[in-house]
Chains A and B, each alone.
Chain A
Amino acid sequence: MQLKPVEKEVRVRATRTRRQAIVGLVGVIAIFAAACQAPGEEESGESEGPITVGVLTPTTGTVAAAGTDMLNGWNLYWELNGDEVAGRTIESIHEDTAGDPQTGLQKARKLVDQDNVQVTVGPLLANVGYAIAEYLETQPDVIGLNPVASADDLSQRTPVENFVRTGGWQSSTPHHVAGDWAFDQGYERVITLCQDYAFGHEVCGGFTNTFTDRGGTIVKKLWAPLGSSDYSSYLAQINPGQADAVFMLTVGADSGRVIKQWEDFGLKGEIPLIAGETTLEQSLLRAMGDEAVGLQSFGHYAEGRDSSATQDFVEAYQEEYDDVPSYYSCALYTGAQWFAQAVEDAEGDLSDTQAFLDTLRSVELEDSCFGPMALDEHGGTIMNVYLREVEKDEEGRLVNRPIEEFNDVSQFYWYDPEAFLDQPVYSREYLGEDWPTSCDAFAEDCPLEE
C-alpha cells in the first residue's frame, strides 16, 4: 500500500509516542502515590525573640503613591518610638501587592510561608483586603492588622476573626454623618456622583441612607467607573437649578480630574459640594491647585487638626519625608501605635494567638493622629468624624482643616445594630433610600419624618 508521506511519518512516530505515553502514565501514577504521604509541616510562631511583621502595601501599579505613604507611616512609628516593645524587637518585611488581589494573596502567602511572619499589616484596597482576609482565615495562627481596607462587611456581616481593624475605618461611617449634616444645612434635593465599584457604593449608601431618613431626596444618581478619563460628561448632567447640593466620592487620579473640571465647568461656587473621605485626601491635594481651596469634605483624618497627637505626627513626618502626611500614612502610623500598645498590654507574649487577638481588640487609644479610637463588639472602629475644609497653609500647601467635629461615631450611626445587619451591605441596588420604614430600626431617637 502506498502511504501518503505525512501518514507514514505519523506511523513511525506513533510507536514512539505510545512508548512515551506509557512512561507518562507511570509518572502520573507516581505522582498520586507520592500524594498519599504528607511532607513535614512547619512550626508556628514563637513567644520569644523578635516579632516579624509582614507589611503588605502596593508600591508599584496605579495606587503606588498611597501605598508608599502607608509604608512611610509604618516605618516612621518605629523610628520615632524605637522598635523594641516589651522586650521584643519588631522586625518588618515589606512586600508589594501591586494593588492587585492575586499578587497580594501571593505575597501574603510568601510572608507567612517563607518569612514565617506572625503578624501582617495592610493592605490598601478593599478587594486585596478581602483576598488576604480570606487567606488569613485558613491561617489561624497569623494575626492580620487591617488599618486601611475599609470594606464595611469586614466588621459587619462577614468579619474575619484574625483580621482586626487597628486604626482602620468603615467606608460608610463618615458618610452617615455627612447625610445627616447635609439635611441640617437645609439641602433637600441632592445629586450624588460616586465611583462605580464596591467602595463607592458603600460611601454613597452611607450618605443616602441617613439623608433620606431625614426626608431628603436624591434627585439623580451618577456612577462613574473607576479610572474615568474625563468627568465632563457627568458634570454636564449636574444642573444647578435641579438640586441644592452635590455629594461626590472619587478616588485616586479621578479626584484630581473631577475637582479641576468642577471649577472648569463653572460649578464651583454655583452649587455646594459635599465630598467624601478620599476625594480631597492629602495625597491628592498635593497635586491640586487653587481649584480645591474652600471645598468641604467628611472624613476621619484632618491633617490640620489642632491636637498634639496629630501635629507631632505631621511635623515628624514632614521632617522625615518632606511631605504632608496623608490619611494612609496616619493609618499605618496608628496601626503601629495600636499594635505596640497591644504587645505592651500582653507583655510581649504572642504565643496564644486567641488571647492576643482579644488584647488587640480591647486596645483604646486616648489620642492618635485620627483622634481617640476604640473598637465596638463587632470589630468596627469608633472614632471622630470631621467636616474638613481645604485651606492654604503659610507655606502655600493645601491642607484639610477641621471646621466641625463629631465624636465617637459608630459604624451603625443611629441605627440599631441588629436591624442594620439584617439589611444587605450597600450596593448600587441597595443604598438604603427606602429603609428604614419604621422607628424600630433605630437605636434611640427616631429621625424619620412624621
Chain B
Amino acid sequence: MLTIERGRWLALAVVGAGAVALPYMVDSFYVNMATQALYLGLFALSINLIAGYGGMVTLGQAGISGIAGYTLGIAATQFGMSLGPALVVGFLATIVVAVVFGALAVRTGDVYFLMITLAQGMIIWGIAQRWTTVTGGDNGLRGIDRPGFALEYWKYYYFTLGVVAVCTLLVTLITRSTFGLSLKGIRESEGRMRPLGYNVTLHKFWAFTIAGAVAAIAGLLLAMFNQFVSPAAVHVKASADGLLMSILGGMGTIAGAFVGSSLFVVVTNYVSGYFDRWPTLLGLIFVLTILFAQDGIVGAWNRLVWAPLLRRRGRELEAERTVVGVGGPLARGQPVPASTSNVDRGGERAPVPVGGSPASNAIEDKVDREA
C-alpha cells in the first residue's frame, strides 16, 4: 500500500533521478540553468535558515556569500594558491566574517536586524567596488578555476548537484535537531522561550553562523561556475533576490529554497529573452507573494494538500507541524484583522495568539505528555 512515507520517498527518488538524468535529456543551456538554480537554491536556503527558521529577515546575505567568492578569487589570482587550499581559505574567511557580523546583528530584532544586515552588505559591496588593487573594483576578479575533474558544463553540474545535496542533507539534519526545534520555537515566540531557559541570542548567533557557512559554499560554487567574481555578486540586489527566492518558494521549508531559485532562474534566464519588462514581472511576483501567499509555494502546498492528507490519516500533530503557520514565518504571531488592529502589534511585544504557533505547540505537547 502506498503510505504517506512511501509516497514521500518515491517523490524524492523521482526528483533525484530526474536531477541525475538531466544532462542526458536537455542541452547545455538548460543544464547550466539547473546549475544556477542549485547554487542559488543553496544561497536561498542560507537565508531561509536565518529568516525562516530563525525569524530574522536579512538583506545582507549576498555580502557574506560574496566574501567566499572574493577570498577564493584573491587567494587564487593574487597569491597563486591552488584551488583546494584557496577554497578552504575562502570558506574559513567567510565563517570569520559571519561570526563578527552575527555578533553585531543578532542583539537586535526585526527591523533593526534588517537594517544592520543591509548596512553590512553595503560595506562589503563598498570594499569590493572601491578597494580596486585587491578586489579589481568594477572589473572584478577573473581567473578562478573550476576543479580539474569538473571543467565541462555537465561535469560541473554534477559537482554542484553533489555538493548541494550534501549541504542540504546537513541543513535538514540541523533543522530537525534540538537546536533547530528550539530555533523554531524562538521564531514563533521569543517571549515564551526565554523563561524556558533558552539562550535566545546564542541560538540566533549560531543560526547566523551556520547560515554563513551555507552561504559560503553557495558563494564558492557561484565563483567557480562563472570563473570570476564581481561587485554585482555582493550587491544588495543580490541579497534581495535571494530573499525573493526563499519567500517565493516558502520560508521555513527546505524544498522552498530550491523551488524559489528555480523559478527565479527561469524568469531571469528564459522569460527575459521574450519579455523585456521581466524585472517588473519579478517585482509583481514578489508583491503578490507577500500579499497573498506569505508561506510561499511549498508552504501553500503543505497547507492545502499535505496537511489535510495527514489529518485524514489521523496524524494531527504532524499535520500541524507541516504547516508553517498561517501568514508564514515572516509574521511574528498571527496577522491581526484590520478591524482590531490599532497602532501596531508587531515586534516582541506582540500578543501570542490563542492556540499558539505550531513549533511552540510541539514543544508544549511534549511537556504535557511527560508531565
Note whether A and B contact each other (Cβ less than 8 A). Answer: yes
CA distance A42 to B32 in the complex (A): 14
New A-B pairs, 17, CB < 8 Å, besides A17-B173, A429-B133: A5-B366, A21-B173, A27-B20, A31-B165, A32-B158, A40-B24, A60-B276, A101-B140, A101-B228, A101-B230, A102-B233, A103-B268, A130-B142, A196-B130, A197-B132, A197-B139, A428-B133
Q: Are A10 and B177 in contact (CB under 8 A)?
A: yes
What chain A residues lie within 8 Å of B29 (beta carbons)?
A: 109-110, 113-114
- Please name the residue on chain A nearest to B173 by beta carbon: A17
A240 at the interface (CB under 8 A from B): no
A114 touches B27 (CB 8 A): yes
Does A35 reach chain B (CB closer than 8 Å)? Answer: yes
Q: How far is the CB of A28 from chain B (nearest CB, A)?
A: 5
With A31-B20, A106-B269: A127-B138 Cβ-Cβ less than 8 Å: yes
Residues in B neighbouring A103, C-beta threshold 8 A: 232, 268
Can you list the 10 inter-chain pairs with the closest CB atoms, starting with the nearest? A5-B366, A114-B29, A113-B29, A35-B158, A39-B23, A100-B232, A127-B139, A113-B28, A101-B230, A24-B169
Question: CB-nearest residue of chain B relative to A59?
Answer: B276
What is the minimal beta-carbon distance from A372 to any residue of chain B, in angstroms? Answer: 31
- For B182, what are the chain A residues with a Cβ–Cβ distance below 8 Å? 6
Given A6-B366, A9-B181, CB of A30 within 8 Å of CB of B273: no
Would you give the shortest CB distance from B39 to chain A, in whole angstroms? 12
Q: Which residue of A lies closest to B152 (CB)?
A: A38
Among A20, A59, A113, A126, the residue within 8 A (CB) of B27 is: A113
CB nearest neighbor in B for A105: B226
Given contacts A39-B154, A101-B230, A110-B269, contact A9 B169 (CB under 8 A): no
Residues A101 and B165 in contact in the complex (CB < 8 Å), given A10-B178, A110-B273: no
Say whether B336 faces chain A, with CB atoms less than 8 Å apart: no
- Within 8 Å by CB of B176, from A13, A35, A40, lies A13
A103-B222 Cα distance, complex, nearest whole Å? 12
A198 at the interface (CB under 8 A from B): yes
Provide the A11-35 mask, 1 if CB < 8 A to any CB of B, else 0: 0010001001101100110111011
By beta carbon, the residue of chain B nearest A198 is B139
Interface check B11, CB cutoff 8 A: no
A126 and B178 in contact (CB under 8 A), knowing A106-B269, A110-B29? Answer: no
Indicate whether B351 reaches chain A with its CB closer than 8 angstroms. no
Chain B residue numbers with a CB within 8 Å of A271 are none
Interface residues on A, range: 35 or more
* CB 8 Å contact bits of B267-291 with A (1 = contact, 0 = none): 0110011001001000000000000
Task: Please name the residue on chain B nearest to A32 by beta carbon.
Answer: B162
Residues of chain B from 128 to 150 with CB closer than 8 A to chain A in the complex: 129-130, 132-133, 137-140, 142
CB distance from A113 to the nearest CB of B (A): 4
Complex CA distance for A102 and B36, rounded to whole angstroms:
12
Chain A residue with Cβ nearest B19: A31
A397: Cβ under 8 A from any B Cβ: no
27 A-B contacts (beta carbon < 8 Å): A2-B370, A3-B370, A5-B363, A6-B178, A8-B370, A9-B178, A20-B169, A24-B166, A28-B166, A30-B20, A35-B159, A42-B28, A101-B230, A102-B232, A103-B232, A105-B228, A106-B36, A109-B32, A131-B140, A131-B228, A134-B142, A196-B130, A196-B132, A198-B132, A198-B137, A198-B139, A428-B132
Asked if B226 contacts A6 (CB within 8 A), the reply is no
- Tell me the interface secondary structure of chain A in the complex: helix
Closest residue of chain B to A93 (Cβ to Cβ) is B273
Tell yes or no: B367 within 8 A of A by CB. yes
A262 to B269 CA separation, bound complex (whole angstroms): 43
CA distance A2 to B276 in the complex (A): 63
- Residues of B contacting A96 with CB < 8 Å? 272, 276
> A134 contacts B227, CB within 8 Å?
yes
In Å, the complex CA distance between A2 and B370 comes to 9
B194: chain A residues at CB < 8 Å are none
**Could you tell me which residues of chain A, from 108 to 141, have a CB within 8 Å of some CB in chain B?**
109-110, 113-114, 126-127, 130-131, 134
Would A9 and B366 count as touching, CB distance under 8 A? yes
Please tell me if A226 contacts chain B, counting CB pairs below 8 Å. yes
Most buried by B among A2, A9, A226: A9
- When distances are taken between beta carbons in the complex, the residues of chain B under 8 Å from A102 are 226, 230, 232-233
Tell me, yes or no, whether B16 is within 8 Å of chain A by CB: yes
**Is A225 a contact partner of B130 (Cβ separation < 8 A)?**
yes
Residues of A near B159 (CB, < 8 A) are: 35
Q: Which residues of A contact B230 (CB under 8 A)?
A: 100-102, 127, 131
A39 to B32, CA, bound (A): 14
